């Protein structure tokens, strides 16, 4: 069955290294780190007291007068709106006088909104019966009702970013939200492509947003022993594929892309940044926090994406790794690449921008795919910084510490999430 080709016509992001696409890209090529002591809340007593935070974010700086309509959004939804505004404007769609709005959709990867701990603590305190030493559920319910009203419960809902984006651009087509953890925005982009391929829409606003830098998020990952605890050296804490790695660094942000059918983009004379040609999605079906020891799901996702693109392993010029900096993930992703690429694996450069950005969780895949677009545009690969002590189990070419000029026509981007979610996208330099 013939399917529509899908192209990228707009990109926007909000990251720990900034929000201007070109400036952030240059900082990545210079190997800068966005990791610093946590300021969003007092993390001094936590096992991990640092993170990769978005600095100085104000929604009005991106939306202007439109920000008033979205004044009550959560932090992560605000990131999504800002990134979407930049992507939409870059695509040139804002200049169109006519656009069939029912054929413009939204597909995001996201997670829960930030938790209002002050109100939760207040509710619990006033519901506690100190004389009896237990929670008075009636009193707690009364306090909680008032407290949750103040918390604006809708800010917690994961689908709010997509709802606000639809309102901002009058996108009346399908609106979806996927919650597949660290794989979410890659999966969202892949599924958005399917809608365009089938001809059911012309434009999809897709990507992801997330912010988990709050006490609950940090505590959860610390209890899982997933976070680095290198508190005395935060900028060197995120070190994918390095033997001294001790966990990932929690980040936050958003990445939004405008996807269009090639025909729609050509008719309106849009600038095309790249073409999405392959998508693979699998589940490990193993454990909710561990990758299968044979890397069966992640290797299958890559194979499916290569097959979907109609390519061979020799056509892939660069792999943007999931590359979190945990012992398990880095070893098994390296194993998966070797299982798929065989003897060719050591000839394909691989790098992880999480070494500079931290892990943006549901937003990570979209930001990393944008990095692939820029690598193709400028024919240069971003480095994996902090890679100073090679791990014998991670024996591929990880572009250590310095950006590298390279011939890049086709790039593959991996995202693997808790729950055993595996998603891979392949993009190619656009050729009419």
Q: Could you confirm whether 292 is annotated as catalytic? A: no
> Could you tell me which of 423, 415, 396, 409 has the C-alpha nearest to residue 342?
396
The dihedral sign for the CA sequence 16, 22, 23, 25: positive
Residue ranges of E strands in 306-429? 318-320, 350-351, 380-381, 404-405, 410-417, 421-428
Query: What pLDDT, on the 0 to 100 scale, is given for residue 281?
Result: 98
Q: From CA 350, how far away is CA 128, in angstroms rounded? A: 54
Query: What pLDDT, on the 0 to 100 scale, is given for residue 137?
Result: 62
Q: From CA 10, how far away is CA 358, in angstroms rounded? A: 24
Q: From CA 69, how far away is CA 322, in angstroms rounded? A: 36
Q: What is the pTM of this model?
A: 0.92
Which residue is it, tokens 């999480």?
354
Class of domain 6-113+157-428: alpha beta
The single residue of 214, 264, 322, 372 carrying the catalytic annotation is 322
Which regions in the chain score pLDDT beneath 50? 122-126, 150-151
> Could you tell me which of 77, 79, 73, 43 has the C-alpha nearest to residue 61?
79
The single residue of 182, 193, 372, 394 carrying the catalytic annotation is 182
Region for residue 111 given its phi and psi (left: phi exceeds 0; alpha: psi -120 to 50; beta: otherwise): beta
Helix and strand tally (H, E) in the chain?
A: 13, 16
Please report which helix (H) or strand (E) contains residue 267, including its range.
helix 262-267
Q: In 10 A of CB 426, how many CB atoms?
A: 26
Query: What pLDDT, on the 0 to 100 scale, is given for residue 84?
Result: 98
Query: In this structure, what token pair is assigned to residue 178?
Result: 């996927």
Q: Could you confirm whether 182 is annotated as catalytic? A: yes
Query: What pLDDT, on the 0 to 100 scale, is given for residue 151?
Result: 47
Query: What pLDDT, on the 0 to 100 scale, is given for residue 142?
Result: 63
Q: Could you confirm whether 359 is annotated as catalytic? A: yes
Domain chopping of the chain, boundaries: 6-113+157-428, 117-156
Continuous H helices in 152-183? 160-169
Strands 421-428 and 410-417: antiparallel
Measured CA to CA in angstroms, residue 77 lies from 73, 160, 277 at distances of 6, 7, 29
Which residue is it, tokens 């069955």?
1
Q: Write out the DSSP string of 114-145.
A: PP-HHHHHHHHHHHEETTTTEE-HHHHHHHHH
The single residue of 210, 359, 372, 394 carrying the catalytic annotation is 359
């Amino acid at each position: 069955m013939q399917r529509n080709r899908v192209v990228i016509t707009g990109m926007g992001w909000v990251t720990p290294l900034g929000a201007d696409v070109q400036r952030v890209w240059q900082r990545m090529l210079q190997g800068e780190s966005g990791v610093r002591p946590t300021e969003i809340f007092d993390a001094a007593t936590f096992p991990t007291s640092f993170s990769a935070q978005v600095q100085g974010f104000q929604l009005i700086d991106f939306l202007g007068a439109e920000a008033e309509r979205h004044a009550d959004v959560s932090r992560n939804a605000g990131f999504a709106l800002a990134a979407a505004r930049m992507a939409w404007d870059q695509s040139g769609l804002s200049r169109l006088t006519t656009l069939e709005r029912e054929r413009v959709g939204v597909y995001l990867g996201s997670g829960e909104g930030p938790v209002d701990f002050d109100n939760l603590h207040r509710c619990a305190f006033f519901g506690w019966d100190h004389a009896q030493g237990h929670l008075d559920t009636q009193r707690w319910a009364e306090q909680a009702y008032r407290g949750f009203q103040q918390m604006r419960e809708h800010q917690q809902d994961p689908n709010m970013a997509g709802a606000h984006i639809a309102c901002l651009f009058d996108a009346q087509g399908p609106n979806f939200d996927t919650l597949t953890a660290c794989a979410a925005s890659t999966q969202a982009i892949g599924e958005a492509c399917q809608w365009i391929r089938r001809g059911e829409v012309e434009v999809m606003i897709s990507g992801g947003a997330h912010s988990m830098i709050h006490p609950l998020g940090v505590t959860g990952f610390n209890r899982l022993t997933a976070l680095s605890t290198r508190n005395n050296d935060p900028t060197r804490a995120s070190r994918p594929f390095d033997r001294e790695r001790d966990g990932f660094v929690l980040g936050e942000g958003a990445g939004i892309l405008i996807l269009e059918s090639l025909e729609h983009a050509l008719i309106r004379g849009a600038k095309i940044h790249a073409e999405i040609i392959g998508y693979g999605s699998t589940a490990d079906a193993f454990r909710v926090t561990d990758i299968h020891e044979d890397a069966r799901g992640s290797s299958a996702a890559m194979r499916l994406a290569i097959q979907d693109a109609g390519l061979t392993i020799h056509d892939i010029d660069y792999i943007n790794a999931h590359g979190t900096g945990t012992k398990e993930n880095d070893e098994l992703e390296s194993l998966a690449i070797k299982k798929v690429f065989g003897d060719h694996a050591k000839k394909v450069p691989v790098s992880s921008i999480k070494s500079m950005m931290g892990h943006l969780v549901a937003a990570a895949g979209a930001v990393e795919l944008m990095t692939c677009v820029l690598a193709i545009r400028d024919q240069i690969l971003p480095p994996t910084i902090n890679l100073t002590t090679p791990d014998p189990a991670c024996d591929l070419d990880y572009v250590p510490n310095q950006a590298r000029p390279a011939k890049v026509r086709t790039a593959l981007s991996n995202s693997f999430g808790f729950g055993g979610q595996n998603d891979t996208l392949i993009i190619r330099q656009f050729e009419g």
